[in-house]
Structure 1
Amino acid sequence: MKTKSMASTVLWIPLLLLLHPAAPLAQTATDAKIIEGAKKEGAVMWYTSMAIDQSKVVVDRFQQRYPFIKTSFLRLGGGAVMNRVLTEARAGKQLFDVVGGRGEMIQAFKERGLLGSYRSPETAMIDQDLFDKEGYWYVYYVVPNSLGYNTKLVKKEEVPKTYEELLHPKWKGRKISMDNEGYLLLQGLISAWGREKALDYMRKLAGQEPVLSRGNTERVTMTSAGEYPLVIAYAHAVEREKFKGGPMDWIALEPAVVEIDPLMIASKAPNPNAARLFLDYVLSKEGQEMLLEFQRIPVRKDVEPKPARLFRGYQRVIERPDDYRYFSENVKLFQEIFKTR
C-alpha cells in the first residue's frame, strides 16, 4: 500500500488577472454553462495526497488556464486526507470541492453520501475500468505493480514470465523482495482469480521465503545494488532506477495489479461548477500530459506513458473500490500468510 507523508500544507494561489492577460481556455469539452457557473463561484478547493511540488504545479496550471478562479489546495498524506474529510462530515461540513487520494477513499466516502455525481465528457478518451459509470470517481493516474529484476544477476531469458514461474525452486531463499504491506496485491489477485486460488498462490509464494520490507523506492534501489535478484514493486519505480543507469528492468506478470489514484467531487461542494471544471482539466489531454512531467502514469488513450509499456500491452486488473468491503480481512490474511505481525 502506498504510504505518504502525514504533514499538511495549505497553499493559496493568488489571482493572476491583474498580472497577466487571460490565457486561452484549455482544450476541454466542459459544458459552457459549467464554465459560466465557475466564473460566478470564483473559487475551488482541492484536498490531495499528491506530493506538494507536483500538486502546486497542477493548481498553478489550472489557475493560468482559468484566472477567474481562486485555486486553493490542502495537501495531506493519504490517510490524513481521508480522516480530514470524514471528520468534517461528522461535523456536518464539506469544505472541499474536489478530493484526490487513494482508492480506499471511494467506498468510505460514497457510502456516507459525501460524493457528488458528475459525468465528465473527458471519459471519451479513458478506458471504462478507470472511471465510475455513475460519475462518482475518476482515476487520473495509475500505479501498476511489476516484477523488477537486476539485469546483472538475472538473464533476460531466465526472468519469471508468470506468477507460477515465480514459484520455481531457484527463486527460493531470500531471492525476492516484497512489500510487507502488499495488501492490494493480494486484493487484486483475489479480484482476478477468486479467493481460493489467490490465497493458495500467496501461501506458495510465502514458501519461497521472500524478504518483506517497506518502501518501493528503497527496495528497488537495494535490488539494483545486488541485494536481491527480484523485486515485486511499482513499475515506475523500477523504470526510474533504470533511467538513472541502474542495472534494472521489469516485466508485467499478468494480470498486473494496478493501483489507482482517483478524483472525486463533494456532494455538497461549495463551488460545484468550479469543481467540475477542475476535474475536467486534470482529465483533459493538457492535464494528463502535465502528469508526465511528474513521472506519473496518465490514463488517457491519447497520452502515452513514458515509456508506453508502463500502461500498455499487458493484461491488468484494476483496483476496485467495492473490494474494500473486505480490506480488513485481506490485511489479516496477508499478515498471517507472510507472518508480518
Structure 2
Amino acid sequence: MMGLTTIDGGEICFQCILLKEASMKSKILLFGVKAIFLVAILCWSAELRGQSKETIEGAKKEGKVIFYTSLTIHEIDQIAIPFTKKYPFVKVEPFRGNSEQLLQKITIEERAGRPQHDVAQFNAFEAWQLQKLGLLQRYKSPEAKNYSDIYKDPEGYWTVIYANYLVLGYNPKLVKEEELPKKWEDLLLPKWKGDKLGMDRDEGVWYGGLAFAWGKEKADKFMRALALQDPTIRKGHTLIATFLSSGEFPLGLVYAHRVEELKQKGASIDWVPLDPIVVTPNLIAMGKNASHPNAARLLIDFCLSKEGQTILQQQQYRTPASPDIPPISPKMDPKKLKLFLADKRVADQYDRFAKDYYDLFVKGKPE
C-alpha cells in the first residue's frame, strides 16, 4: 500500500484517507436525505389532517389565536395545553364568559371597529345571532366531514362542537326507580307539588323545544300547570345538579353530562330519559375579521378532530358532536334516545319563550 513517510517516521495511507472522505460524504448525503424525508413526512401529515402548508406557515407567522369561549378555565386548559403541544408556534389567548356576555362583547367590539376574537365557542343561540349580524366567517373544517348535516351550517359559518341533553335528574336516595315519572306530564302529579323539582330561572330553550316538538298549545298548557306545582327556582344547571345530589330536592331539570360527571365522582344522582329530550347545541366558529385566521383554522380543526372531541368526552364528560366518538355513558347513546334539537326555529322565537317562562316561573316569586 502506497504511503508517505512523515518527519517522525510514520506513514500516511492515501487510500485510507480517500476511504474516510468517501465515508464522510456518504454520511452527509444520508443525513440530508433523512432530513428531506422528515420534512416531507411532516408536510404530508399536516395535509392529512386537512391543514395545508400555507395554513401551517401562516399560523407560524401569526403566533397566536384569540379564543372567546364559555368553557370553564379548567376546561380551556384541557383544550389549550394539548393544542399548543401539537402546535408550539401558536399561543392560545382565551377570554372566558357566558354566552350572553360573549355575544355582547363581540358586538360592542365590532361597533367600535376593534374586533378582537379569532374563534368563538358558545351556545348556538348566541352564535346564530352573530351569523345574523354578519360577524362570522365561512370555514368548512375537514375534521367535520363526517358530522351530521344538522350539526353544521351548509354554508360553513359554524359547526356544533358538543350537545347538551336537558333531562330529568333525580336523587336515588329520595326517589325509588318505580316512582320516577315516565313522561313529562307525570311531573303534574300531586306528589311532585311544592319544592320537589329544581329548575333554572331561564328555561326558554326548553319551553321552545317542547313547543315545536309537541305543538304550542300542548306545551303552553303543560307549562302553566307545571308552574302551579311551585318548583324551586335556581340559577345554573350545574348548581341544580349539585343541590339535587345533596338532597335539597328529589327531582331537577339538569344536563345529562353533568349528572354522569357527578355519578363518576360518587354523588347520589341519576337521570331518566323522558320523551322528548330537548338538545341545545354548542357551536364553534371563526370571527369575520379574525386577525389570526390560519391559527383560528388550526384551533377549530383541533376541537372538531378525534383528539379534541375525545377530550370533551373523557375529560369534560360532554356529549361530542363527532359521530366517531361515543358518549361517556352508553345511556347517552343518541340512537337510543328521543331527541329534539333546539334549532333556529326555537332561536328565532326565543325571546317570546323566555318571557313566557319568566312570567310563569320567576316573576313575582321570591329569589
Aligning the two structures, in what range does the TM-score lie when normalised by the shorter sequence? 0.7 to 0.9
Give distance in 2, aligned partners of 1:188 and 1:259.
9
Instruction: Indicate conservation of the 8 Å contact 1:175/1:211, yes or no.
Output: yes
Q: Could you tell me which of 226, 229, 232 is aligned with 2:253?
A: 232
One-letter amino acid matched to 2:350: F
Matches within 5 A, 1:107-146: 107-146=128-167
In structure 1, the residue corresponding to 2:67 is in which secondary structure?
A: strand
Any idea what the Cα deviations from partners look like across 1:208-229, whole Å, max 9, x if unmatched?
2322222323323333333322
1:314-325 alignment to 2 at 5 Å?
A: 314-325=337-348
Deviation at 1:55, TM superposition (A): 0.9
Shift in Å at residue 178 of structure 1? 1.5
User: When the two structures are superposed, what TM-score results if normalisation uses the length of structure 1?
Assistant: 0.85
**2:87 counterpart residue number:** 66
Name the counterpart of 2:27: none
Query: Cα–Cα, structure 1 residues 178 and 34, in superposed 2: closer, same or farther, change >3 Å?
Result: same
Of 82-91 and 101-110, the range deviating more from structure 2: 101-110
Specify whether residues 206 and 95 from structure 1 end up closer, same or farther in structure 2 by C-alpha distance, changes over 3 A only. Answer: same
> Equivalent residue for 2:233?
212
The reply on whether 1:44 has 2:104 as its aligned counterpart is no
Counterpart Cα distance in 2 of 1:44 and 1:222? 37
Gaps of 5+ in 2: 1-38
| Displacement after TM superposition at 1:98 (Å) | 0.7
Residue 15 of structure 2 is matched in structure 1 by none
1:203 matched to 2:197? The reply is: no
The answer to whether the Cα contact below 8 Å between 2:245 and 2:269 also exists between their aligned partners in 1 is yes
How far apart are the structure 2 equivalents of 1:322 and 1:235?
23
Specify the alignment match of 1:3 in structure 2: none
2:56 to 10, 30, 35: 35
Pair 54,224 (structure 1): closer, same or farther in 2 beyond 3 Å:
closer
Instruction: Tell me the amino acid that sits aligned with residue 80 of structure 1.
Output: Q
For residue 138 of structure 1, report the CA deviation from its aligned partner. Answer: 1.3
From the superposition, tell whether residues 159 and 68 of structure 1 become closer, same or farther in structure 2 (CA, over 3 Å): same
Mapped to 2, the partners of 1:122 and 1:172 lie a distance apart of 48
Structure 1 residue 133 displacement after superposition: 1.7
Is 2:329 the partner of 1:307? Answer: yes
> What's the CA shift for 1:202?
1.0
Q: 1:162 to 1:28 in 2, by over 3 A?
A: farther
- Structure 1 residue runs of 5 or longer lacking an equivalent are 1-21
For the aligned residue pairs, the C-alpha RMSD in angstroms reads: 2.5
State which structure, 1 or 2, has the greater radius of gyration over its C-alpha atoms. Answer: 2
Secondary structure of the residue that 1:125 maps to in structure 2?
Answer: coil
Alpha-carbon distance change, 248 to 131 in structure 1, aligned in 2, over 3 angstroms: same
CA distance in 2, matches of 1:47, 1:153: 40
Q: CA deviation at 1:166?
A: 2.4
Question: How many residue pairs get matched?
Answer: 321
Shift of 1:248: 2.0
Letter in 1 for 2:213: A
| Aligned-partner Cα distance in 2 for 1:36–1:93 | 26
Give the distance between the partners of 1:268 and 1:246, measured in 2 at CA: 45
Alignment pair present for 1:76 and 2:97: yes
Alpha carbons 2:174, 2:250 under 8 Å: kept: yes
8 Å CA contact retained: 1:30, 1:120: no
Q: Secondary structure at the match of 1:47?
A: strand
Query: How many Å separate the matches in 2 of 1:46 and 1:218?
Result: 26
Instruction: Measure, in 1, the Cα distance between the counterparts of 2:363 and 2:49.
Output: 47
Work out whether 1:336 is the aligned partner of 2:359.
yes
CA contact (8 A) 2:201 2:362 kept: no
Percent identity between the aligned chains?
A: 38
Aligned to 1:12: none
Letter in structure 1 aligned against 2:304: L
CA contact (8 A) 1:107 1:322 kept: no
Q: Could you say which structure has the higher helix fraction?
A: 2
Correspondence for 1:15: none
**TM-score normalized by the length of structure 2:** 0.79
1:149 aligned residue: 170
